[in-house]
């Protein structure tokens, strides 16, 4: 148990780098999709560079961080199995499951873009980028507030806020399209 705080620190460090990778990879997807719409030779130059950048980010930072964050989380749960009896931990693990689904979907999008398959718009990717943000907010509020009932209000507030952001984004997009 003397190593518990070291393991917890490593878990937190790799959670942070995992989220950093997820935030940045989707931003690179936006740039890659927009680069595909540019004229030659700019298009080819940018696409080549973005493929290199996304490859390095995905396989050198994001995937290793996800694996190490998970490894240290499992180690923490082995050291403190009582956490698995706490309702807030069940909810947190549900959000972690959603995070893995988000990560795997990003991996699918990554593979498509590496093969020059552009199935999503840059606007979709901008909205998609908010998915990791919502999960991050929910997990942080949940972990900090634990058994307090207030975390539910925080999570509900985040989802309502995200709906307002999406509606605002759609409204702004319509205004932008009308002015073109």
104-134 residue pLDDT tens? 999 999 999 999 999 999 989 988 998 898 8
**Per the annotation, where are the binding residues?**
11, 92
Query: Model-level pTM?
Result: 0.85
Grade residue 53 by pLDDT with cuts at 50, 70 and 90: very high
**Per the annotation, where are the binding residues for heme?**
11, 92
Q: Which two tokens stand for residue 75?
A: 């180690």
- Please tell me the distance from the alpha carbon of residue 171 to that of residue 177, in angstroms, as a whole number: 10
């Amino acid at each position: 148990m003397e190593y518990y705080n070291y393991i917890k620190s490593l878990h937190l460090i790799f959670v942070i780098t995992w989220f950093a990778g997820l935030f940045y990879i989707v931003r690179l997807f936006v740039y890659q999709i927009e680069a595909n719409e540019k004229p030659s030779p700019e298009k080819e130059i940018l696409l080549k560079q973005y493929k290199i950048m996304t490859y390095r980010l995905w396989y050198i930072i994001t995937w290793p961080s996800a694996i190490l964050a998970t490894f240290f989380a499992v180690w923490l749960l082995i050291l403190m199995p009582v956490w698995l009896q706490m309702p807030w931990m069940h909810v947190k693990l549900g959000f972690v499951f959603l995070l893995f689904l988000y990560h795997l979907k990003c991996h699918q999008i990554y593979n498509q873009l590496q093969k020059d398959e552009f199935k999503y718009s840059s606007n979709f990717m901008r909205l998609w980028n908010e998915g990791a943000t919502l999960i991050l907010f929910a997990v942080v509020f949940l972990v900090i507030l634990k058994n307090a009932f207030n975390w539910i209000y925080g999570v509900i507030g985040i989802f309502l806020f995200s709906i307002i952001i999406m509606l605002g984004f759609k409204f702004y997009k319509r205004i932008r399209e009308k002015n073109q």
